[in-house]
Amino acid sequence: MMGFLEDLLGNVFWQAVIKSVAVLVIILVVALLIVWVERKIVSDMQNRVGPMRAGPFGVLQTLADGLKLLFKESVLPRKIELGAYMAAPIAAMVPAFLIFMTIPIGRPFTVGETVVTFQGADLNVALLFILAMSSMAVYSIVLAGWASGSKYPLLGGVRATAQMISYEAAMGLSLVPVIMFASAQLGGASPALGTMSMSQLVELQQGSFRGFIPGWFIFWLIPSFVIFFISAVAETNRAPFDLVEADQEIVGGYHTEYSGFRFAMFFLAEYINMFNVSAIAVVLFLGGWLGPDFGLPGWIAWAMPLFWFFLKTFILVFIFIWIRATLPRLRYDQLMTLGWKRLIPASLVWLLLFAVVTAWRRFGAPWS
Amino acid sequence: MVETVLFFIFGIAAIFGAISMVWARNPVYSALGLMLTMFSIAVFYVSNAGHFVAAVQVIVYAGAVMTLFLFVIMLIGVDKSESRKDDLRFQRPAAVGLLGLLIAGVLIAGSAAWTTGTRQPGADVNGTIENVGDMLFRRWLLPFEITALLLIVAAAGAIALAYFKPGDEEGDAA
């Protein structure tokens, strides 16, 4: 058995196949769980019970809904542009899936000779890749909005472009201090050039200072974390930034004309994206899968990093849902003001400050 | 082997995108075709270990094509398709002639022997972004910063040209 596993994981192609399938399974299970968790938390905050019938505490409700959507008729409206209409749900799922491929969810382990990472692919340009993929994600929404041949989806799609492009700028700027800090942490190492690889960023957060505060980046980079998180909420079109699909104004926004499983794909993509940005925040600021394993034996110690990763990520997902249940939706001009006049200047100022401090710590005062 | 397979899949995709960019009746599909071509080229960069260039290619061009989308939707309208009436009668034969010239050029260039530089030491496959960063921010820092300054001046100039009307002393033409 062990020998077979070793051969399988030793082969690059089979390892890639196994990882891709694993990522797909994990991501779908996580999305189903998050939908259920969201319904339960929101209903709790609104003094309701939420789904209770399917499975214990209604945990299978999402699965039931998904099956229902799978078997429902997929209505094709008359005025659609067929090609783009069909492509849009796929274009929504693909970037979400690819972003998750780059996130390390656990400590690498060895099977025989090969080192197996809990990560689809350890890219050296991971952060840029994530930004690229999140800019690809806008396409699905605009395509869906345009191809539906209907007014409300078009409004949603056009809103989405403005919103996601604006907040992408703030998001990208808030990530620069992370890279600078990682480079400073690497300082003494032989290449001394810094890194963008997700797995290395996690490893740089190992250790602690003063014995009990973990060496996570968030303790140096709280402004970055706050800006990243706000723009992440806007990037994933979650309340209070859900103007793209504001039910009261434009029915369902870009997915108004979709039904059946095509709608379900948009729905899943939104929740996967929510998980993705939470996971990215965990990797960049909260130490990724790092956490104490309390000296537990064998496979428990092996599984502890996974536990810590999912715990941290689900705490951030909870904050997402909490925000959704608490804050009312922003007006459109408020959204743009927040993006361009608050977040981008704030992240620029923070970037400059941090650059000066980093340079000072590394090279000494300018007059010395 | 992987490289060959990738090359054929994405080479065909790139050509298909380029043709549909010119051919499509609806400008939205033209924009999509352009994006497909850009994306396929990014895949070529990846298979040549230019990860950084590939990521930047997707970020920059995906954003650019997005603006094209908006232009199409806002300027042309949602459901207008382009008329195919050809006013310049010579341009289709000319296009065929130029295509022939291009193919001939590719064939001639491909049959000639090429002199290429030797591989830089230290430019290992998994370190493209480190190498780019090293070059940009250490060796070529001054040219890089001057280029950035030039681009900012150009952007500010473009805004000034578009925003301020002639004879408007205060410049608050909102």
Q: What is the pLDDT of residues A36-50, one digit of tens each?
A: 888 888 888 888 887
Instruction: Locate the chain B residue with the closest alpha carbon to A195.
Output: B130
Number of domains in chain A: 1
Domain stops at, among B78, B93, B120: B78
> Is residue B148 one of the residues assigned to a domain?
yes
> Is residue B147 one of the residues assigned to a domain?
yes
Instruction: Locate the chain A residue with the closest alpha carbon to B137.
Output: A193
Cα–Cα distance measured from residue B37 to residue B49, given in angstroms and rounded to the nearest whole number? 19
Instruction: Locate the chain B residue with the closest alpha carbon to A134.
Output: B59
Identify the domain containing residue A196 by its residue range: 69-363
Identify the domain containing residue B5 by its residue range: 1-78
> Is residue A56 one of the residues assigned to a domain?
no
Identify all chain B residues contacting A138, using CB atoms and an 8 Å cutoff: 66
Instruction: Please write the tens of the pLDDT for every residue from B26-83.
Output: 777 888 888 888 888 888 888 877 788 888 888 888 777 777 776 776 666 655 555 6
Identify all chain B residues contacting A143, using CB atoms and an 8 Å cutoff: 32
- Buried/exposed code over A260-288 (b: 16+ C-beta within 10 A; e: otherwise): bbbbbbbbbbbbbbbbbbbbbbbbbbbbb
Using pLDDT thresholds of 50, 70 and 90, give the confidence band for residue A77: confident
> Is residue B112 one of the residues assigned to a domain?
no
Looking at the complex, report in whole angstroms how far the Cα of residue A189 sits from the nearest Cα belonging to chain B: 13
> Is residue A335 one of the residues assigned to a domain?
yes
Token output for B67: 């603006």
Residue of higher predicted confidence among A138 and B104: B104
Using pLDDT thresholds of 50, 70 and 90, give the confidence band for residue A368: low
Using pLDDT thresholds of 50, 70 and 90, give the confidence band for residue B174: very low
Give the CATH number for residue B29: 1.20.120.1200
Residue A23 has a pLDDT of 87
Cα–Cα distance measured from residue A65 to residue B152, given in angstroms and rounded to the nearest whole number? 52
Residue B151 has a pLDDT of 94
Q: What residue spans of B24-140 are helical by DSSP H?
A: 27-47, 51-71, 91-111, 128-134
> Is residue B36 one of the residues assigned to a domain?
yes
> Is residue B142 one of the residues assigned to a domain?
yes
Number of domains in chain B: 2
> Is residue A108 one of the residues assigned to a domain?
yes
Record: contact B55-A132, CB cut-off 8 A:
yes
B52 close contact with A: CB closer than 8 A: yes
**Whether pLDDT at A322 is above 50:** yes
Mean pLDDT calculated for residue range B5-11: 89
Using pLDDT thresholds of 50, 70 and 90, give the confidence band for residue B97: very high
**Whether pLDDT at A349 is above 90:** yes
> Is residue B42 one of the residues assigned to a domain?
yes
> Is residue A41 one of the residues assigned to a domain?
no
Residue B80 has a pLDDT of 59
> Is residue B38 one of the residues assigned to a domain?
yes
Using pLDDT thresholds of 50, 70 and 90, give the confidence band for residue B167: low
The β-bridge partners of A208 are A214
Cα–Cα distance measured from residue A319 to residue A94, given in angstroms and rounded to the nearest whole number? 25
Record: contact B59-A132, CB cut-off 8 A:
yes
> Is residue B90 one of the residues assigned to a domain?
no
Predicted interface score ipTM higher than 0.85:
no
Record: contact B62-A193, CB cut-off 8 A:
no
